[in-house]
Structure 1
């Protein structure tokens, strides 16, 4: 007879997938200070650091990734778009259309904001996980669905993560449609460790780390123990391919008439240095 004891079954159910309650009696631990390198000295980023830049997402991971290129003054305005597009299109088309609609929803909401002024840039993104069989997996809606989702990813080989990014800026002219927009979709192949046990999957689900993530796992956190290897961009799996974002930002600034403002700002800096 084995001497191994089973872990006790929790007396209380895990937190709801709809909302994780906070315990007001528990003190909030202090956040460790993070030393960051100097921000990238690029004209487009210099412009956005001085002006209103919106991330159309409530994801803290996307905000953190934008901070790696020096965009730390990001304004968070989650898109009101319902993300209910039909999944009959290809995953590429579906994720791109969703990111585009997210950006447009925030643009329409904020373009005539009298108190804050129109935004200089709106950055929107959408991430989906696609199983080896072609099924689009978004955020799990229950514990049972969460477990089934992770088992599917473990048992069916390589799955793919698609993140679409849409960057847009208003045009000063009345030229239709009134804004400049650039979009892109990044793809990363991910393989779970096929030897991961059901017990480990259940233990991971109980942490709730993956409850708010497409595919039901966070590769940058505890969920990394489920992953054997990836082929492509790591931060794309996290939720925002920052290399792609930077390229789109530069293209939008170049296409929009804000380029004139950018040149004016840089000339102003040179004059101040000469004085």
Structure 2
């Protein structure tokens, strides 16, 4: 195994967790006279609003390394990590969808209030926040495991119940230069993916996985992109949603909030003129 693939840091404790190759010129598929791509990683997506953001301050209201890695996949490499201090203590009685959506929105608002007048770093261009929960087959909301016993019982329950849902709410907020209330534009989305555990996974294998501590800091207690994949038989929906950030939906939200403010003013004028209510 290459040294680059070996984790440089040990998995977190439960307490810490809570706080394609270039074708060969001789290959039949190679195009005669075609120029080989330059060495190194592929260039970032050449999209106007992403190109603008790469020159500005993009704030991620999360300490999740997985979300940062996913944003890098769309070319947002320079991310300012400003974890939200929101307590995440909303009542589960809200229901799964409202719970995860209001939590993600509150995270964005918390960071917005703290960073909007940051004289050292400057005002954020956008703030991206997210919250991921697991909803068991019987409707229970699961977040990060509290300890080894809780972790073990959580994974056994998910196996025994068969399918469960992963829900991630994403909120993207952009401060506005105009004085239009409330001073920002925010777009939100909730992505849902169905995950089915392998019913034949043994208690011993689950315990072995728990002791790797790989799932300590993950909702539901497992990571699909790491060793937790051994527990999973199949998924229906977005893979990166299970990882922690649905990229396709996040890209749409970014595009929406990056619309020029004159377009926003026109939308408001239409509302005030009553045009927005016309068929």
Q: TM-score range by the shorter chain?
A: 0.7 to 0.9
CA 1:179 to 1:241, structure 2 compared with 1: closer, same or farther past 3 Å?
Answer: same
1:258-273 residue pairs with structure 2 within 5 A? Answer: none
Q: Which of 15, 20, 24 is the aligned partner of 1:18?
A: 15
What does the per-residue CA deviation read over 1:174-194, in whole Å, with 9 as the maximum and x for residues that have no partner? 111000100000000000000
Report if the CA contact (8 A) 2:136-2:165 is conserved. yes
Indicate the SS of the match to 2:208: helix
Alignment partners' CA distance in 2, 1:217 and 1:56: 22
**Aligned-pair distance for 1:17?**
1.3
**Aligned-pair distance for 1:256?**
4.0
Indicate the SS of the match to 1:125: strand
What is the aligned length?
A: 234
Report if the CA contact (8 A) 2:61-2:81 is conserved. yes
Alignment partners' CA distance in 1, 2:238 and 2:12: 32
Q: Which of 109, 113, 118 is the aligned partner of 1:108?
A: 113
Q: Which of 187, 212, 215 is the aligned partner of 1:182?
A: 187
Report if the CA contact (8 A) 2:195-2:235 is conserved. yes
What does the per-residue CA deviation read over 1:142-172, in whole Å, with 9 as the maximum and x for residues that have no partner? 1010000000100001100000000001010
Partner of 1:62 in structure 2? 67
What does the per-residue CA deviation read over 1:39-74, in whole Å, with 9 as the maximum and x for residues that have no partner? 001111011100000010000000000000000001
**Aligned-pair distance for 1:15?**
7.3
Partner of 2:216 in structure 1? 211
What does the per-residue CA deviation read over 1:204-249, in whole Å, with 9 as the maximum and x for residues that have no partner? 0000000000000000000000000000000000000000110000
Q: TM-score, normalised by structure 1?
A: 0.82
1:75 equivalent to 2:80? Answer: yes
What does the per-residue CA deviation read over 1:18-54, in whole Å, with 9 as the maximum and x for residues that have no partner? 138xxxxxxxxxxxxx953210011110111000000
Partner of 1:237 in structure 2? 242
CA 1:255 to 1:130, structure 2 compared with 1: closer, same or farther past 3 Å?
Answer: farther
CA 1:70 to 1:230, structure 2 compared with 1: closer, same or farther past 3 Å?
Answer: same
Report if the CA contact (8 A) 2:13-2:216 is conserved. no
Q: Which aligned segments of 4 or more residues in structure 1 are displaced greater than 3 angstroms?
A: 255-259
The alignment's C-alpha RMSD in Å is 1.9
Alignment partners' CA distance in 2, 1:115 and 1:15: 31
1:168-179 residue pairs with structure 2 within 5 A? Answer: 168-179=173-184
Alignment partners' CA distance in 2, 1:255 and 1:230: 38
Indicate the SS of the match to 1:18: helix
Partner of 1:5 in structure 2? none
Partner of 1:87 in structure 2? 92
Indicate the SS of the match to 2:158: helix
Unaligned runs of 5+ in 2: 1-10, 18-38, 265-279
Report if the CA contact (8 A) 2:12-2:216 is conserved. no
**Aligned-pair distance for 1:255?**
5.7
